[in-house]
Structure 1
Amino acid sequence: MLIEIRPSLDPELAALVTAQQRELAESGGSVGRLFEPHDDVEYLVGVVNGRGIAVAAWQQSGPGGAEVRRIYVRPAFRGRGLARQMIVAVEEEALAAGRPWIRLELESRQIAAIALYQSAGYRQVSVDGPSRVRFEKRLPALVQ
């Protein structure tokens, strides 16, 4: 899989986010607002055979911090380690931007996503009510 940084108005990015929001809505999750691209968010798209099949997004958060905004892999491509590749790409981009702390928030019912982040070294730092959990990870320093 090739991972590319894409502009916020990229049509493949919009299609991936729409697919993610549709899937969340169908599973009873909260989707919040419809996709609104933001200039302060960096979007990464995973491409296989010229087609966008995964998306990740992150943004700067506080001094030295970053926040994962989304990770999504199309269902037909799951189970191949692509979500983990997207997580690593986000972490590398955050580190390159001088952001050694990374955080994220999930719905507590997203059991597979929680397991994925925990296996990638994220630790749960809080529970926000019965439905939200927060995770964070200190990223290792880049070797120059």
Structure 2
Amino acid sequence: MLIEIRDSLDPELAALLAAQQWELAEFGVRAETRSLEPDDDAEYLVGAVHGRAVACGSWQALEPGTAGLSRMYVRPAFRGRGLARQLIVAVEEEALAAGRPLLRLEVEVRLPAAIALYQSSGYRQVTPAAPGLVRFEKRLPAPVQ
């Protein structure tokens, strides 16, 4: 999978985010817990397989030293190939390069596959979280100089 940074207005990114929103709605995720528009303050990464955009993820600066990971999505036909894990690593590398070694995210409790992915990627559950959400964080090791 080729992973590259994309502008928030990129049409392939927009298609992935629309597919993600549709799928979240199918899971019954409440609209107030998800933003429908890309955030211009976030850095978006898109993963392509054979030239087709099939996955996305983003990070956004929070307080100093901290980034929020979000918008993780892999098209259903491409799941089970390790693409989400590759994308998480790429997002983590970008956040770390920007001086943000602590990553945080929240996941709906209705998404057990996402929860399992983050746990198996080294994210630990922390509290507090809003009702219906699970909050995770991961501290990345300092880069070797």
Aligned equivalents of 1:31, 1:113: Cα separation in 2: 18
Structure 1 residues 39-48 or 26-35, which shifts more?
26-35
Aligned equivalents of 1:88, 1:10: Cα separation in 2: 22
SS of match in other structure, 2:9 = coil
Instruction: Tell me which residue corresponds to 1:64.
Output: 65
**CA RMSD, aligned part only?**
1.3
CA contact (8 A) 1:14 1:35 kept: no
Structure-2 change in CA distance of 1:13 and 1:79 (3 Å): same
SS of match in other structure, 1:128 = coil
Aligned equivalents of 1:100, 1:7: Cα separation in 2: 23
Structure-2 change in CA distance of 1:66 and 1:34 (3 Å): closer
Instruction: Tell me which residue corresponds to 1:138.
Output: 139
* Structure 2 length-normalised TM: 0.94
1:1-144 matches, within 5 Å, as 1-32=1-32, 35-144=36-145
Give unpaired runs (5+ residues) of structure 2: none
CA deviation after TM superposition for structure 1 residue 129, in Å: 4.5
Equivalent residue letter for 1:78: R
Identity %: 70
CA deviation after TM superposition for structure 1 residue 130, in Å: 3.8
Aligned equivalents of 1:39, 1:28: Cα separation in 2: 26
Aligned equivalents of 2:39, 2:71: Cα separation in 1: 13
Structure 1 residues 24-33 or 73-82, which shifts more?
24-33
Equivalent residue letter for 2:73: Y
CA deviation after TM superposition for structure 1 residue 123, in Å: 0.4
CA deviation after TM superposition for structure 1 residue 35, in Å: 3.0
Aligned equivalents of 2:47, 2:8: Cα separation in 1: 15
Runs of 4+ in 1 over 2 A off after TM superposition: 30-35, 127-130
